[in-house]
Each structure stands twice: as C-alpha cells, then as structure tokens.
Amino acid sequence: MANRDTRAILFLNPDACRRLRVEPEGRQLARTQGLEVLSSDTPPEPLGFKAHGGWFEEGHMYLQDPFRRNIYVEASTANDLFAIQRQRVFVKLCQLLGARSLEVKTVHVTKQEASREVDVGGGRGVEAKVQYAASTDDQLVQTLRTVNVFHGGVPDLRMALQLLEDSHLEDDHEFRSLVDLMDGPNPLREREYELTVTRSGQQQLSLAASLKVPAYARLSIDYASKLRTRTEYKVRLRIAFGRES
C-alpha cells in the first residue's frame, strides 16, 4: 500500500480522464492510494508537480523522485535515474565526510521478474520469480563505474546529516552508518563498502507495477510489462578518508 510519501501520476488525455469518472474500473483506479490522475488540459505545475526533464507527456506514467519529492520521473526510466541519483548523493556524502578517494571496484547486477497470478487450467496460480544476471556492459553499469579523487579533509558531520535530511535518507542505514563511523576520536580511514544503488524508489516502482490501467487510457508504454522486471544494481566501493600523510 502506498504511503503519503509514495506517489505516482497518470497524465492522460481529457477523454480518457472523463471515462475514468464513469467506468467502474476507472473509478477503482482513481481511488488508488498515492495515485494522481491528471488530464493534459490541466497543467500539473500549478498543482505543485514538476517533471524531470521539464514537461509531462500525455499517455505516460510518472513516479515521485524519492530524493526530491516535488519532482516526477517517467516510470520506464525511473529505476535507472533513481540509481544514478542515489550514487551521486553517496559521493557527495563521502566528500562532506572528508573522503580522499572513492572508487567503484565492481558493479553486480541481477534482474528479477516479479511474480504474478496466471490462469492454470481454468484456475489461478502464481508464476514463479525468475532471477538472472544482467549484462555487465549495459549503459547504467558504465555510468556507475566511477573514480572520484578529493583533497581530503576534516569531516563536516553537520552538513553530512543535513544532506541526508534534504535527500530523505536520514533513516537509510547504508548512508547513516558511514556518518556514524566518522563521528568520534577514531574516525574511519579506509573501507570497502557495498551500496545498493537501486534501494531508493522501490515503493514507487511497486505502486506503478500494481496499477491496472484500463485499455481506453491509451498509455504510450506497456508499463505492466516494463515494470514487472526489476533490475537491482549493487556497487562495491573502496573509500579512503583524510589527507595523504
């Protein structure tokens, strides 16, 4: 079930929106917690919604950015964009904590096809999850492979905690544990660290995958198929803190 911080937008043509108000399955969809159904003849911006890239396109679904909650990302690209943003926030966190270098050593990728109900001889069954390794030469893997070198310095714990709060990551253990290790008289000097870059935004993606959108809504992308396959990316990082001795 979606919560108040997990939202999605369906941006539809006016005729589809009118039908949603009278068709039973449309009314059921419109009552989904966390979902806004907007007509393309009603500009979203005055309602406080902003699209990543600058504009909303009719017939598309958009998911709330977990780091900037007034921004919405087109659902078919959301998983990759959320992953890139999460890694960028982590790099910025390391910079604020006085890191000297941060290198991505490996990227581990798995794809998992979500289970769903299927017809089995006139009854209902559950399709098994299928998990398999993804190609390591895909575009996102190349984007995540980075080496960052800084001057190094004294940790700014106040600014680091402010970054986590501003990015809605203050309760994320992968981020907060690193801040905790830099606090005190014996701060961390080096560490190999595994970061799940696809950890953020999973509620938004699950909400979008669960939506049963009527055919007359005429979405431009088959989101049901697109979002059933979830890709997880984990990066193994080596971090060094402080200045060179």
DSSP states of 64-114: E-SSSTTEEEEHHHHHHHHHHHHHHHHHHHHHHTTEEEEEEEEEEEEEEEP
Alpha carbon 60 to its chain's center = 17
Q: What is the pLDDT of residues 91-135, one digit of tens each?
A: 999 999 999 999 999 998 888 765 444 333 444 444 444 454 545
Task: Determine if the pTM surpasses 0.75.
Answer: yes
β-pair partners for 234: 108, 196
Sign of CA dihedral 115, 78, 202, 135: positive
Residue with tokens 């030469």: 137
Instruction: For residue range 50-97, list pLDDT tens digits in order.
Output: 999 888 999 999 999 999 999 999 999 999 999 999 999 999 999 999
